[in-house]
A = this chain, B = another copy of it.
Amino acid sequence: MKFVDSRVRVRYAETDQMAIAHHANYLVWFEIGRTDLCRVAGTSYREIEERGMLLVVVEIGCRYVIPFHYDDDVLIRTSIAEAGSRSMTFHYELRDATAATLHATGFSKHFWLDRESRRPIKADAEVMKCFTPFL
């Protein structure tokens, strides 16, 4: 199992006056993808925060190929590009419902922070082990 698929449907509120999904929503969909990956990996992101860690975003990139329209089904395909105890990078593909057509690609890079001090930490070995099947 090398990636996790999530599905969202484009909300009316997510469209803009070009009658397409506004590009900032893609980052929200990426976030859904990586939290679903964490869940499938056996450690929900909610649980990660409850253990006192944050996975903050330090870099984002997205290429927009084909727009999505209102009510379209969006397939979010999330994989791990790099899983370090200091930082992690996720990779995303946004596809149509059949997965045949690529609409966008992107990545997000993250640092592990201590939730209280907001300083960089090394992630829990137990959490990191969850990600092994995705490497």
Name A's B-contacting residues (CB within 8 A): 11-13, 15-20, 22-25, 27-28, 31-32, 35, 44-46, 49, 54, 56-64, 67, 70-71
Contact = CB atoms under 8 A, between A and B. Distances in A.
Going nearest first, the 5 A-B pairs with the smallest beta carbon separation are: A24-B27, A15-B17, A17-B19, A23-B57, A13-B28
Contacts of A35: 12, 71
Contact of A62 (B32, B59, B71): B59
B13 A16 contact: yes
Interface of A is mostly: mixed
A60 B15 contact: no
B64 A12 contact: no
Contacts of A28: 11, 13, 24
A71 to B, nearest CB: 5
* Residue of A12, A31, A58 contacting most chain B CB atoms (<10 Å): A12
Given A16-B13, A27-B24, A31-B13, A63 B59 contact: yes
Contact of A60 (B46, B57, B62): B62
B18 A54 contact: yes
A125 B61 CA distance: 31
Contact of A13 (B22, B62, B70): B22
Contacts of A54: 18
